[in-house]
Amino acid sequence: MIAVRKGKTKITIDYSKCGPDGVMDPRECTKCLKQCDRPVFHLHHVIVDGDDPWDPSYWQVTPVYTSQCTRCMRCIEVCPVNAISVSW
């Protein structure tokens, strides 16, 4: 079942839970990316302040194509650290 989209979907990731300095390393999890039928999320390298801003160990998941979200909420259900919220 696909939810009806009315208005703009806002997806927020709490990077203190999932991200470069978070509890979960997104490269080890990727559950939200695997659950999403649409290309909503993107796993990518980020540049951070610090000793080596190009350190390849810094990655995060970003909701890039939120217009593709069907609001099925499976990403929220599978996130082990409750880092995702969806609103509209």
Q: Tell me if 26 is assigned to some domain.
A: yes
Tally of domains in the chain: 1
Residue 5 has pLDDT above 80, yes or no: no
With 60 as the cut, is the pLDDT of residue 6 above it? no
Classify residue 67: in a domain, yes or no: yes
CATH number at residue 62: 3.30.70.20
* 13-54 pLDDT tens trace: 999 999 877 899 999 999 999 998 888 999 998 877 766 766
Residue 3 belongs to a domain: no
Q: Which residues of 44-77 are buried (b: 16+ CB within 10 A; e: fewer)?
A: eeeebeeeeeeeeebbbbbbeeeeebbebeebee
